[in-house]
Amino acid sequence: MGASSVLLGLLPVVLSQLGPTTAEQGLLALRRPFLALLVAAASPAVNPLRNTEYDNTLHSDLPRALPPPRFSSRRGRRPSTLAVALVALAQYTVGFTAVANTVILAYQLSIWSVTSFAVRFPGLPAIWIFLALPIHLGSHLAMRLRVRYERLHDDDRGCRGGVGYLGMLAREELAPCRFQEGVRLTWLPRRKVVGALTWFVYTGVVIYILVGTLTLSGLLFISAADTVDIAARFVGGAIVCKWIFTFELDGIQDTTMFVVEEEDGDDGAPLDELEPSPLMVVAEEGNSAVMMKHADA
């Protein structure tokens, strides 16, 4: 029983290392929101990320200029519609299978076991598992408020109507990111609401891991063999979801251009890039004259 409690108690920390960061989750949700939500529900894994690392992730991972397309009709490497559909179908099949695995685990842990500190409340494990969804939704909203999303192709001109716009969103959702057209993400100046939302996400991740450790380590009536099976199913779902994230983020890097919107000179411009004021010019001329007098002397 003690070994089972230790293994289950360490499971939230292990899952947090296998799961995507909040920045990666929000980045995927910009391109394929339903797939991002599906993967978030499939695995209770949230990787903690500091506030500064959130910005550095996008600045370091995304290129400042759009790279040459890996798949283009001019190169003769344009994939067929069937190939794109098969890749998307495989992703959704794996995602729905992982969601089913998580739902069954939540049901089994809630019905077949009891939490030591909440005996009269059997649904605590299921609540903890699906508490990751608000954190992922918060990361998506923070990314939406932090960047400006612009498509670099001209398909938007014919998608002004509601039906056309929904069709364009469906085409983007059903195609992996590496097969989509290029987009531009403009990094906007930080606002207070974004800072408050990111603080909620970071704090929620820490609380989520602590609650998971307390909940899983307090489960009773679980044998060592069942503990290994539970851990393997949780870790397996997290690894599969991580594979989907890695595949999509690699495609996002190939089809996304990252631009930083310049702030006002008084706020964020470096000192050497500011235009000199008349007072500065006069001061520099005065210092030059004093230096010339000392040199003549």
Q: 69 lies in a domain?
A: yes
Q: 271 lies in a domain?
A: no
Q: 162 lies in a domain?
A: yes
Give pLDDT, residue 99: 93
pLDDT tens digit at each of 297 positions of the chain:
577 888 888 899 888 888 887 778 888 888 899 999 898 888 887 777 665 555 555 655 555 555 555 554 444 456 778 888 899 999 999 999 999 999 999 999 988 888 888 778 888 889 998 888 888 888 888 888 888 888 776 555 445 556 667 777 888 888 888 888 888 888 777 777 877 887 888 888 889 999 999 998 888 888 888 889 999 999 999 999 889 988 998 888 888 877 776 554 444 433 333 344 343 333 344 444 444 444 454
Give pLDDT, residue 63: 53
Q: Are 217 and 5 in contact (CB under 8 A)?
A: yes
Q: 283 lies in a domain?
A: no
Give pLDDT, residue 234: 92
Q: 284 lies in a domain?
A: no
Give pLDDT, residue 274: 37
Q: 131 lies in a domain?
A: yes
Q: 268 lies in a domain?
A: no
The count of domains in the chain is 1
Q: 232 lies in a domain?
A: yes
Task: State the residue range of the domain holding 180.
Answer: 2-261
